[in-house]
Amino acid sequence: MARLTITFLGTSSAAPTKSRGLPGIAVQREGELVLMDCGEGIQRQVMSSGMGLNRDTAVLITHLHGDHVTGLLGLLQTMSMAQRTRPLTIVGPTQLSRWLQVTSELLHIGLTFQVNFVPARAGMLVRLKEFDVKVARADHSVEAFSYLLEEKQRPGVFYPEKAKRLGVPEGKLWSRLQKGKSVVVSGRTIDSSKVTGPPRPGRKVGYSGDTRPTRRLARFFSGCDLLIFDSTFVGKDKDKAVERKHSTSAEAAALAASAKVRRLVLTHFSARYTSVSRLVREARSVFPNTIAARDGMKVEVEYPSQ
């Protein structure tokens, strides 16, 4: 079964700390990499994590605040210096394209690869190799978006007895059927549906970006296997969360409970807190299956049980 790994490249909010960089999350499945937000220095974090700079990659930017986007230009430059040749997909607010064009021209950055820019809008769907990316509007101080990565459906359970009855020899042909592909045996085409159960859902990963919790986002993230949510403030600082259009950890947990997600990861912590233990305690009192992200942390997303 394919591994789905989340790596937290930066987990602070607007200001970095000695132990936390600016926001960035990497999602890896097979050979595909999806980066969500690109805080300053993101390219170094990507390289340190051994992800490589010339694989199938998409970048999802939630909004145009510096802590979420200033690392993108450096990432593009580093990819070019590494002689990247594969096209790169970037999804983000419409003005992101203009910012990239102007700054690239001013700094004389010549790219060695094609950039396919997709302006984000609520309700849209972007199809990648391994994922479908869905977009919802977040509630922040500027135009902002949240993203949902839905892994493609996987084939149903394989039944060897059915394959044997149809005369399919064990080995490579079984492997093809298990992957949902048809095979030819003695001139007969046998579809995988003849020897497998119904397709099974893939895994779902949600990322809020900076936002207040909303009913819209609770519906959007419904049933996520892993939800990564803005948790900038503790409960006593809720007034700051409301004023600055962020969430407290308890509010993130309440949304996770409402959305019936399997697991919640808190991130985007204010630099005012030297420890995030209180944020975790407050969240777990509402939604027990909660952890706090830290820079360099990896989380494996398991398949749904059904």
Average pLDDT, the chain: 95
What pLDDT is stored for residue 259 in this prediction? 98
What pLDDT is stored for residue 69 in this prediction? 98
Categorize the per-residue pLDDT at 180 as very low, low, confident or very high, splitting at 50, 70 and 90. confident
How far apart are the two ends of the chain, measured CA to CA in Å?
15
Q: What is the pLDDT of residues 29-79, one digit of tens each?
A: 989 999 999 999 999 999 999 898 999 999 999 999 999 999 999 999 999
Closest among 154, 178, 172, 149 to 32, alpha carbons compared: 149
Per-domain boundaries in the chain: 4-154+201-300, 160-194
Q: How far is CA 115 from the centre of its chain?
A: 19
Give the residue-averaged pLDDT of 103-130: 95
What pLDDT is stored for residue 155 in this prediction? 84
Q: What is the pLDDT of residues 154-178, one digit of tens each?
A: 888 899 999 999 999 999 999 999 8
Categorize the per-residue pLDDT at 101 as very low, low, confident or very high, splitting at 50, 70 and 90. very high
Say if residue 26's pLDDT is above 60. Answer: yes
Bridge partner residues of 36 (DSSP)? 25, 60
Q: What is the pLDDT of residues 203-256, one digit of tens each?
A: 999 999 999 999 999 999 999 999 999 999 999 999 999 999 999 999 999 999
Q: Which residues are catalytic?
A: 67
114-117-82 Cα angle (round to 5) = 35
Categorize the per-residue pLDDT at 144 as very low, low, confident or very high, splitting at 50, 70 and 90. very high
Instruction: Dihedral sign for Cα 76, 129, 63, 18, please.
Output: negative
- Burial of 249 (C-beta count, 10 Å sphere; 0-12/13-18/19+): buried
Say if residue 135's pLDDT is above 90. Answer: yes
Categorize the per-residue pLDDT at 1 as very low, low, confident or very high, splitting at 50, 70 and 90. confident
In angstroms, rounded to a whole number, what is the distance separating the alpha carbons of residues 173 and 35? 35
- Report the share of the chain in percent with pLDDT over 90: 92
Residue 170 near residue 243 (C-beta atoms within 8 A):
no
In angstroms, rounded to a whole number, what is the distance separating the alpha carbons of residues 230 and 262? 17
Say if residue 306's pLDDT is above 70. Answer: no
CATH code of the domain made up of 4-154+201-300: 3.60.15.10
